[in-house]
Amino acid sequence: MINYDDKYLKRGASASKSEVHSAIKNTDKGIFPGAFCKIIEDRLGNDPEYCNIMHADGAGTKSSLAYIYYKETGSISVFKGIAQDSLIMNVDDVIAVGATSNILFSNTIGRNKHIIPGEIIAEIISGYNEVLKMLNDNGIEIHSCGGETADVGDLVKTIIIDSTLTARMKRSDVINNDNIIPGDVIIGLASYGRASYEKHYNSGMGSNGLTSARHDLFTKIYMEKYPESYADKTPTEYVYCGKYNLSDGFGHGGLSVGQAVLSPTRTYAPIIKKIFDTIGRKNIHGIVHNSGGGQVKCRSFGRGIHYIKDSIIEIPPLFELIKNSTRTDYPEMFQVFNMGCRMEIILPESFAHEIIDIAKSFRVEAKIVGRIEKNPHSNIKNKVTITDPNGKRIVY
């Protein structure tokens, strides 16, 4: 089997981000240390009943694949999806702590002007505006404050697209994952399909694991044609070592392999906003956005918790394609990718069916994927057990 973290390191990245976690381990965790995002005192209004959140994220190396897709097909609209990736990776993190209004947004684009024309920048900005309108139409109050486009060709080979959000909310509205307790159930929301607020079928890819996914799926022809799309020091045996062309048929949702990997990151904000309005925030003990860290992300939240996921949402074909192409085993895959479930809501079972019905009203599959028990081995550390499609229990 292939070790994904080893391949990440050879490609100049890290699946575990161990160096990053080490660098920030002693930093202040904010006033709700157990929440999904760092939350601080209300520095914007100095009101003790309120708090502030600032969050930064982006589309990552997905933008490099979008560049190749644009060069191969001439389709500039692919960059609207990258704008959505950049924005939603922030929105769905802050929605996990309960922020649904008083959200301000700004973006940062760093490009190599020699190969990224102004029309791409215009398409990205248009993409941001379309997603912002969709969110506001669905009750998420978010406002654009402009952004910065920098020509940094000495640093960036193609383009990098990042965003920052700032939110102000009542402390009483915060979803604090420290409230997760044994007896709760875990409701998973599918990352694939076509939600009522989406224009196209979604493969479920999201914006994590793209460094390896694109190199492991796509053929060496892209290494030869687009050397600007990968790091110079990456060993050539790890560069575009798959067997697929971007245009190859995928057989799922009418997508090509390229379109599947470039599916814009789904937001769950409209669904979670309706859940807040319907059952109330106090009944929700935790929300986990399965981004970096995949299905094991939850391990970072709570104390002495055992997350048992023994009825996972069906894994969509794209992740099976990645798994088979790389000969990677399920234990590695679950740590890198969302595997078809990118949002989890944790609460008493009595509310489960109501949440599942709300998700399905938006045409998003949802189910009870597991439960919370006490970790029998520690009152502090958490563990995760996932039952894979073959019935094998994997312990993290």
CATH of the domain at 221: 3.90.650.10
Q: What's the predicted TM-score (pTM) here? A: 0.93
Residue range 287-312, pLDDT digits in tens: 999 999 999 999 999 999 999 999 99
Range of the domain at 30: 4-395
Give Cα separations from 394 to 296, 364, 379, 384 (angstroms): 11, 27, 21, 8
Residue range 19-69, pLDDT digits in tens: 544 555 657 889 999 999 999 999 999 999 999 999 999 999 999 999 999
- In the predicted model, what is the mean pLDDT of the chain? 94
The pLDDT value given to residue 29: 85
Beta bridge partners of 346: 186, 286
Question: How many percent of the chain have pLDDT more than 90?
Answer: 90
Residue range 133-144, pLDDT digits in tens: 999 999 999 999
The pLDDT value given to residue 251: 84
Give Cα separations from 138 to 46, 268, 271, 277 (angstroms): 29, 11, 9, 12
Range 233-241 average pLDDT: 94
The pLDDT value given to residue 213: 93
Domain count for the chain, please give it: 1
Q: Is residue 94's pLDDT more than 90? A: yes
The pLDDT value given to residue 82: 98
Range 232-255 average pLDDT: 93
Residue range 353-394, pLDDT digits in tens: 999 999 999 999 999 999 999 999 999 999 999 999 999 999
The pLDDT value given to residue 7: 63
For the residues of 72-116, what is the DSSP string, one character each? HH--TTHHHHHHHHHHHHHHHHHHTTT--SSEEEEEEEEE-TTTS
Residue range 132-191, pLDDT digits in tens: 999 999 999 999 999 999 999 999 999 999 999 999 999 999 999 999 999 999 999 999
The pLDDT value given to residue 30: 96
Residue range 320-364, pLDDT digits in tens: 999 999 888 999 999 999 999 999 999 999 999 999 999 999 999
The pLDDT value given to residue 212: 87
